[in-house]
Chain A
């Protein structure tokens, strides 16, 4: 597709369950970012991928959060043993490696996660 896609668009889960969120970046974009958007918190950086490696995982809130990227394309964010405070919109963005000084990132529509 032409843009970043994410699935599912909405996910409702019970506390303690594991969830997987998927991101399909723009074809050819080597950089991929995950952010979390909560009410009153703005967008928080979670993790950055360059190709399949993640040189910056500093934003992951706890060891219940993990992410991987395969084939330099699709990325999956996994949250284990979900808690109610994990409820948020999870956004994925991609950027071309040669994006220039502007660091333009293109965002997907997000996955709204609700933990009951």
Chain B
């Protein structure tokens, strides 16, 4: 069984601060995805990383996939109140049909 440990579970910061969310596993994933979920809505895909060591940037968000494809991180620079939400990492692997294993999620609150 593949497991993803996501940390921290809760993060409360002031606008303008930087933060990092971590996603770790003992299993290798063929790809790893980061989602953001707003209350009352389904998760929305932010990025997919596929190659070990890959780094992707999406404006103020930087995503990294570990060399061994077992871990990933999401770094947000100069957080804004609009970044508030639930962030989820999800790994795909072990099947050919895209079954995802999700981390427990990080609830981010950015205060003005």
Our verdict on whether A and B bind, yes or no, reads yes
- Cβ B101 vs Cβ A56 within 8 A: no
Given A31-B98, A91-B42, A42 contacting B30 (CB threshold 8 A): no
Interface string of A73-116 (1 = CB under 8 A from B): 00000000000000000010101000101111111111000000
Q: Size range of the interface on B?
A: 20 to 34
Q: Is A1 an interface residue (CB 8 A)?
A: no
Q: Is B74 an interface residue (CB 8 A)?
A: no
Stretch at the interface among B14-22, B43-51, B61-69, B76-84: B43-51
- Cβ B48 vs Cβ A43 within 8 A: no
Given A40-B104, A42-B88, A104-B48, A99 contacting B98 (CB threshold 8 A): yes
Q: Is A66 an interface residue (CB 8 A)?
A: no
A residues near B33, Cβ cutoff 8 Å = 102-104
For chain A, the count of residues having a C-beta within 8 Å of the partner chain is 28
**In this complex, which of B33, B90, B99 has the most chain A Cβ atoms within 10 angstroms of its Cβ?**
B99
Residue from B30, B42, B88, B97 within 8 A of A93 (CB atoms): B42
Task: Give min CB distance, A39 to chain B, whole Å.
Answer: 10
- Cβ B31 vs Cβ A109 within 8 A: no
Residue from A4, A33, A35, A101 within 8 A of B50 (CB atoms): A101
Closest to A102 in B: B48
- Cβ A107 vs Cβ B98 within 8 A: no
Residues of A near any B CB (own CB < 8 A): 4, 31, 33, 35, 40-45, 48, 50, 55-56, 91, 93, 95, 99, 101-110
**30 A–B pairs (Cβ distance < 8 Å), ordered by A:** A4-B42, A33-B100, A35-B102, A40-B104, A42-B6, A43-B43, A43-B90, A43-B100, A43-B102, A45-B99, A45-B100, A45-B101, A50-B97, A55-B97, A56-B97, A91-B42, A91-B43, A101-B30, A102-B31, A102-B33, A102-B50, A103-B30, A103-B98, A104-B33, A104-B48, A105-B45, A105-B100, A106-B45, A109-B41, A110-B40
